[in-house]
């Protein structure tokens, strides 16, 4: 259906409510304006009207289009930077802390059970190294910037519980009695202290055949009873994975801004081309240098669009890796990697998954465009000023040289 001409009258459809009639009238008026904007060389368009319309429309479209595009691109880039620099490192730190605590617990139980834990350093280097590593990982997660204030407080509670947990492991290390008859009492007390330390670590005890290995004798639980150390860490992992999923999808505001920018910039590009053609045929201007320069920022927009699409795809690709990091990483796998550092790495090891996420997110952008995004909106404002200034100059010169009584 063709759009109505500027001077034509379009009959309203019969039997329309008052609100629908108003919407129809606005739509018809918008159609007239768009038609007059896209086809300015039609018969009957005066030079003065053309310059006046372009002096308003082109700068306005440039501001709207570049502003919406710059905001949408900045949102995608900010989400990508947040995921790359804060969210995924926090997930890696939590997974490393969780597996390190299981390894430390297994090492402590093994050494105490074999009677090699008495004395200073009896719990072994693996226990001390893994407890220290878990503490450092939790501190790094706290300082990562990926957590809310409440989540930071929750993780500080976990750190405090970890101090208490190591204290009970230390109590189980030393014998209580000094006589042969006290050995049975020592063993019962040691087992009770170990059981309490294990309950501080996680809520649900696994049977030896269901543990899947030596270093995982309990598992995390959920719900109101999820108060142990690993329970809280696992709950925070789930929260961060949900946050990653929210960041990975296209937001409604970003999509709306993308649609607005696409329409505005398409109208701006077509209008700019029509304006150059109009000036060439009506005013005999071969090429308007200011208007041609105003078209240059449009050349960068396809690259910025590809950059945003790559960043969004990289975030989507990070989701299954983050799920594997939280659900499939095993303390037994980490222990094997620690014992055989030169062997082929397990694809479900924490370090391997962390490298996969880092590489994917690093490749999910055009690196040479880093730092260009913040200049999109200023470039749009400069383009609007350049177009408006050029058209104002042409209009003023035309009005000065136009003959009295001539067609303007």
Q: Give the residue extent of every domain in the chain.
A: 45-397
**Which residues, in sequence order, are CB contacts of 142 under 8 Å at separation 6+?**
152, 155, 156, 159
* b/e sequence 335-359, b meaning 16+ C-beta within 10 Å: bebeeeeeeeebeebbebbbebbee
The model's pLDDT over 23-77, given as tens digits with 9 standing for 90+, comes to 777 777 776 666 666 555 445 567 777 788 888 889 999 999 999 999 999 999 9
Q: Sign of the C-alpha dihedral, residues 318, 319, 320, 324?
A: positive
The model's pLDDT over 93-127, given as tens digits with 9 standing for 90+, comes to 999 999 999 999 888 888 877 665 555 456 778 88
φ/ψ (deg, to 5) at 271: -65, -35
**Which residues, in sequence order, are CB contacts of 256 under 8 Å at separation 6+?**
none
Q: Is the pLDDT of residue 178 over 50?
A: no
Has this prediction a pTM greater than 0.75?
Answer: yes
Segment 308-317 mean pLDDT: 93
Segment 296-321 mean pLDDT: 94
Residue 115, judged by CB atoms within 10 A of its CB (0-12, 13-18, 19+), counts as exposed
């Amino acid at each position: 259906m063709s759009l109505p001409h500027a001077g034509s009258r379009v009959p309203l459809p019969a039997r329309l409510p008052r609100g629908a009639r108003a919407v129809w009238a606005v739509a018809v008026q918008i159609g007239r304006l768009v038609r007059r904007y896209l086809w300015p060389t039609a018969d009957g368009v005066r030079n003065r009207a053309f310059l006046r319309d372009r002096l308003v429309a082109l700068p306005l479209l440039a501001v709207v289009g570049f502003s919406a595009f710059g905001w949408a691109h900045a949102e995608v880039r900010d989400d990508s930077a947040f995921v790359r620099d804060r969210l995924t490192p926090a997930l890696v730190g939590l997974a490393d802390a969780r597996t390190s605590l299981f390894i430390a617990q297994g090492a402590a139980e093994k050494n105490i059970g074999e009677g090699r834990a008495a004395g200073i350093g009896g719990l072994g280097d693996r226990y001390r190294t893994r407890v220290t590593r878990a503490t450092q990982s939790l501190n790094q997660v706290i300082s990562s910037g990926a957590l809310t204030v409440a989540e930071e407080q929750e993780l500080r509670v976990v750190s405090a519980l970890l101090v208490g947990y190591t204290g009970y492991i230390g109590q189980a290390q030393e014998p209580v009695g000094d006589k042969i008859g006290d050995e049975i009492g020592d063993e019962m007390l040691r087992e009770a202290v170990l059981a309490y330390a294990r309950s501080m670590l996680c809520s649900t005890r696994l049977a030896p055949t269901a543990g899947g290995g030596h270093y995982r004798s309990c598992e995390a639980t959920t719900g109101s009873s999820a108060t142990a150390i690993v329970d809280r860490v696992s709950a925070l992992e789930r929260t961060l994975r949900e946050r990653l999923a929210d960041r990975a999808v296209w937001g409604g505001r970003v999509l709306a801004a993308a649609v607005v920018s696409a329409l505005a910039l398409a109208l701006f590009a077509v209008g700019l081309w029509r304006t150059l053609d109009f000036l060439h045929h009506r005013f005999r201007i071969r090429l308007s240098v200011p208007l041609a320069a105003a078209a240059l920022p449009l050349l960068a927009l396809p690259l910025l669009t590809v950059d945003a699409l790559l960043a969004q795809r990289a975030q989507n690709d990070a989701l299954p890796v983050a799920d594997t990091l939280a659900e499939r990483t095993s303390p037994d796998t980490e222990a094997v990697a620690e014992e055989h550092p030169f062997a082929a790495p397990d694809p479900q090891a924490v370090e391997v998954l962390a490298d996969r996420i880092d590489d994917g997110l690093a490749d999910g952008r055009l690196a040479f465009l880093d730092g260009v995004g913040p200049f999109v909106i200023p470039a749009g404002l400069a383009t609007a000023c350049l177009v408006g200034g050029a058209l104002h100059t042409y209009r003023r010169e035309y009005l000065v040289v136009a003959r009295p009584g001539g067609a303007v």
